[in-house]
Structure 1
Amino acid sequence: MKRLLMVSAAMLLAACGSEEQAPEPIRPVLSVKVQPQVQAQLGRFAGVIEARFESTLGFRVGGRIARRWLDVGAQVKAGDTLATLDPTDQQNQLRAAEGDLARVQAQWINAQADARRQQQLYDRGVGAQAQLDIAQTNLKTTGAALEQARSAKRQAQDQLGYSTLRSDHDAVITAWQAEAGQTVTAGQAVVTLARPDVKEAVIDLPIGVAEQLNQNLTFTVASQLDPAINTTATLRELEPQADPTTRTRRARLTLASTPPAFHLGTAISVTLSSPVSARSELPLSALLERDGKTQVWVIDTQQKTVNTRDVTLIERTDDSIVLASGVQPGEYVVTAGVNSLKPGQKVVFDEDAQ
């Protein structure tokens, strides 16, 4: 009986020893791979692709618009008809000018005949010098009136031609400022044409960002529908004054290249960045603060364990931190549960985490 008790006690002690020596369970953790950052982003802004060269056309005479021949978005060639006015007034002016010309031409023919007759009489010695002078003066006066009537007719013809608005270059219609049936004055804006061969990016920047623009900035222009379609750009023009309503300044960017998908009106996003000293950006949840130190948990990918590492903060936002030192590109940092880990603890993590 005594031996049985001793054996039972030995077994109990052995069981307790085995429980104390049991390894800690392997803990799954969320992690992120450290990526080097050599560009600091100043922000991302929405914009649009526009034509660098635009022109606004209007009729050179006033009148009522009879018809608009094309819609917004239509491509036109030089000489294509865009809109026409009711030509009644111009036609009446032309008919009046033609009538005046016919009347003056008849007067000029009579003046020529009279001048010849007076010259013949004078040459035969039966005509007076005064009558000849009057006839020649009348001929000159009538000739001047004839030239004036001809000019009036040409002007009336031009006025009739001006009642048709035509494109003066290959372009795309981007806007109409007048409708059919509307009465417009000479020179009033009617249609806006854009030349599609030279395009640029247009964005509105907050005043604070606009004041930070410099030659070291890099503008990355990408399609909002497909960010893989992108190019770089340089600042061509920055409006000197801010819009009083939005408090923004419009910037126009020259594209380094123009992808085929960048049609006029394409919605884009423009990222502003500038070169900075090497740094790393991590989620705010990766930061461990205790005993006055700022640390992160770094995973040993060979041993599958974690240990703390002191880091130097450059910037902290509501959801991220920027580190100047303490971690190396390619290392994995724990991003969740940082307050419940122990140095050397075994972990399992996703090596494809980004």
Structure 2
Amino acid sequence: MKHIAVLGGGIMGCCTALSLARLRATVTLFEQHPQVMSEASRWNEGKIHLGYLYAASRTLDTAKKVLTGGLRFKPIVEQLLETSIDSWITPQADHYLVHKNSVVGPDEIWDYFERVTDLVCEHPDVNGYLRDISSSDLRRLSATDVDFNYNAEQVCLATRVPEYSINTTSFADALARRVMDDPSISVLTEQAVQSVGSSDEKSERYAIHTDQDTFTGFDAVVNALWAGRPFIDKTVMGRTDFTTHHRYRVSAFLECPLDHSYHSSAVICAGPFGDIKHYGNGRYYISWYPAGLLAEGRNAEPPKTPHLSADDADSIVAKIKEGLGDILPGAADIISQADRVNVQGGWVYAQASGGLDDPSSSLHRRDKLGLLHHGNYVSVDTGKFSVAPYLAEVIAQALV
């Protein structure tokens, strides 16, 4: 029976641990925080990507990379969790609103959306998505077709695309419980991984060095870290040629009364704008990129995690309300109505450079996601939250 170390207790690490355990491997999961699924994997919008967001890449490369993972997300996680995720899925498909300052023009985006829709509908796994999208088509929407009643002076194109999201806080709770309860998985929290080496000079087994201790005897290692993953890769492979971009982003998670009139989800594209997700039962995610970007860095290790005070959180919510509310007045109404507002987030990693306001920035792509093998050491660039369960399945089948 193989003993495999998994580094990182986010969605990538947790799904990998469970997938390995299903194939009868023994797993030790290392997590630097007191709990697994406690940062970016918990605090994000939960979009299960089909590729529509990446119109600025101009090709279908990113859509092709994320599509299979998005379409297979539901059947894989339901198998891992041994329960249905239907109650966590957004009740309506996303509205995509093209901002007047988009880094891609409306005609180009429309053409891109049509090509992605063809790609989605022709995929053999199309019937496995969160909801039935097998007969999806695009149509242009007026301001009154979107229940947030978008500002037509700010939006030059609106359409509905067949993408849905899940409530990540509910999902994170369920995935964390499942990992902690699995007898084949040992979870070591508050263990920040510093490096990976050999157990000894004569052994092909691996050792994990953390800030607390050294753990030896692993047949394989999966580096599923999100922030700081390239730094650990460097300790194994000696690589220094990574293009690295760490961003610390926060958003607002809201609980609202049930008697309001806003029910849709909307994405402002393409560039550094924002979005709103309605998960049902008065629960929302709301973001405005300029307000939520608190830190960024381009080294193998991320910068120091920002401290967020109560006053900082209030200021961020006010900026979200102003920025997103100028485009979607209903978003400002939802913030005003909220009974509870929680500002949370985490580090986001990309093999990219530049900024989202630059049309040539590689942040507009995720075509480099995937696996990097070095013997029985596997480093995984998740790329997007939605791709993690599929990549976990691929890793488990390769290692066991």
| Superposed pair shares fold, TM > 0.5 | no
Say which structure is richer in strand.
1
- TM-score normalised by L of structure 1: 0.20
- TM-score normalised by L of structure 2: 0.18
